[in-house]
């Protein structure tokens, strides 16, 4: 179990490193944002509106804010300054990209990965309490079964290294040498429901409560995200009904103006062809 926690922690650390590496995902998005900033301010200077470039830039903002906390500051020349996480220097300022930088609490996906894998983070805490439970078990048994110690372990990684340190013939059941005496074995059996059991039980229920809380928070965050997304799409989204209605409206307007053209034409025809037949 300790090994699995370790692998999980390593995997999270590796993913964090891949995302934040030079030419990793963050860097690539930042570079493209820099180029788009340049292209957009150039286009604005020549008086045109580069809508497709702006759309592309918005999409990149979305992708970047999945990875970490992003705050945007629009500049007068149409470029946008991007601050990322708690990095000291803006990630993108005009066409300048500053990456890699040190992040402490970047939030978003990077923040989660960092919190999982950092020393003192979630997985590290679990490994420590697992080790503490293993240590309690080993110590309480070893106190009674000291020579040779019943359990062996390495300090600091008890859960991973805990091993039964005796062979069947080395197990001592009594403080006397009599083969039928079992006072020590009885005392070890008496450790049942003791501090080691309690430590492990606490670990399991803490883990369960944590996962439970995280599941609830995830549901809340999902609902919030959806509500915010709804707000956004209610402003910039496309409603087919609305577009259809507009289409019909414009079609009707077009028909109406066509009709007024033909009416005008008929009037002129009347005027030119039918009146004042002079000279005929």
Partner 1 sequence: MNGRITTGMLQRNILADLQRSTSQLSRTQAKLSSGKEITRPSDDPAGTAKALSLRESLRGTQQHAKNVDDAITWTDATESALSSMTDIVQRARTLVVNGASDGTDQTSRDAIAKEIDQLAESLKEQANMRYAGRQLFSGTATTTAPYDAGSDAYAGNTGQMAREIGPGVSVNVNTTADTILGSGQAAGDDKLLDTLRDISDHLRAGDGASLRGTDLDRIDKGVESLLTARATNGALTNRLESASSRLAAVEEMTVKSLSDTEDADLAKTMIDLTTQTSAYQAALKAGANIVQSSLMDFLR
Residue from 7, 176, 263, 270 in contact with partner 1 (CB under 8 A): 176
CB nearer to partner 1: pick between 102 and 226: 226
Question: Is residue 8 classed as helix, strand or coil in its secondary structure?
Answer: helix
CB nearer to partner 1: pick between 256 and 261: 256
Residues numbered 72-91 forming contacts with partner 1, rule: CB under 8 A: none
168 near partner 1 (CB under 8 A): no
190 near partner 1 (CB under 8 A): yes
**What is the rounded CA–CA span in Å between residue 104 and residue 111?**
8
205 near partner 1 (CB under 8 A): yes
**What is the rounded CA–CA span in Å between residue 173 and residue 145?**
8
Contact present, 74 and 80 (Cβ < 8 Å): yes
Residue from 71, 195, 212, 263 in contact with partner 1 (CB under 8 A): 212
User: DSSP state, 274?
Assistant: I
Dig out the tokens for 27 from the structure: 């860097």
Site string for partner 1, 247-266 (x = CB under 8 A): -x------------------
Residue from 168, 192, 277, 280 in contact with partner 1 (CB under 8 A): 192
CA distances, 239 to each of 243, 244, 246, 252 (Å): 6, 9, 11, 20
CB nearer to partner 1: pick between 14 and 228: 228
Residue from 63, 152, 161, 174 in contact with partner 1 (CB under 8 A): 174
179 near partner 1 (CB under 8 A): yes
218 near partner 1 (CB under 8 A): no
Residue from 7, 18, 239, 262 in contact with partner 1 (CB under 8 A): 239
217 near partner 1 (CB under 8 A): no
How many residues at the interface with partner 1, by CB under 8 A? 45
Nearest distance from C-beta of residue 101 to partner 1, angstroms: 34
Q: How far is CA 210 from the centre of its chain?
A: 18
Burial of 108 (0-12, 13-18, 19+ CB in 10 A): middle
Task: Identify which of 157, 122, 156, 131 has the alpha carbon closest to the alpha carbon of residue 9.
Answer: 122
Residues numbered 127-146 forming contacts with partner 1, rule: CB under 8 A: none
3 near partner 1 (CB under 8 A): no
Q: How far is CA 31 from the centre of its chain?
A: 21
CA distances, 68 to each of 31, 90, 101, 140, 172 (Å): 16, 13, 13, 46, 58
Contact present, 25 and 19 (Cβ < 8 Å): yes
CB nearer to partner 1: pick between 32 and 200: 200
Task: Identify which of 41, 17, 24, 27 has the alpha carbon closest to the alpha carbon of residue 94.
Answer: 41
What is the contact surface with partner 1 in residues (CB under 8 A)? 174, 176, 178-183, 186, 189-190, 192-193, 197, 200-202, 204-212, 215, 222, 226-227, 229-231, 233-235, 237-242, 244-245, 248
């Amino acid at each position: 179990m300790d090994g699995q926690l370790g692998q999980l922690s390593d995997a999270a650390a590796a993913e964090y490193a891949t995302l934040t590496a030079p030419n990793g995902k963050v860097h690539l998005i930042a570079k493209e944002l820099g180029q788009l900033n340049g292209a957009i301010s150039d286009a604005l200077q020549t008086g045109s509106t580069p809508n497709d470039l702006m759309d592309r830039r918005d999409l990149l903002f979305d992708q970047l804010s999945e990875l970490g906390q992003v705050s945007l500051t629009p500049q007068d020349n149409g470029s946008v300054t991007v601050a990322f996480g708690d990095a000291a220097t803006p990630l993108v300022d005009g066409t300048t990209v500053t990456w890699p930088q040190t992040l402490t609490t970047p939030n978003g996906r990077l923040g989660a990965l960092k919190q999982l894998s950092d020393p003192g983070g979630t997985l590290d805490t679990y490994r420590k309490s697992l080790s503490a439970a293993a240590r309690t078990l080993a110590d309480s048994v070893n106190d009674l079964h000291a020579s040779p110690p019943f359990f062996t372990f390495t300090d600091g990684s008890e859960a991973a290294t805990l091993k039964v340190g005796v062979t069947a013939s080395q197990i001592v059941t009594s403080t006397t040498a009599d083969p039928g005496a079992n006072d020590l074995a009885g005392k070890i059996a008496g450790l049942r429901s003791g501090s080691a059991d309690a430590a492990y039980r606490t670990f399991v229920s803490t883990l369960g409560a944590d996962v439970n809380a995280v599941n609830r928070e995830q549901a809340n965050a999902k609902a919030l995200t959806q509500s915010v997304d709804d707000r956004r799409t209610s402003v910039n989204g496309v409603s087919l009904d609305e577009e259809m209605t507009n289409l019909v409206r414009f079609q009707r307007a077009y028909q109406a103006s066509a009709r007024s053209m033909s009416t005008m034409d008929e009037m002129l025809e009347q005027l030119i062809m039918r009146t004042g037949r002079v000279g005929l």
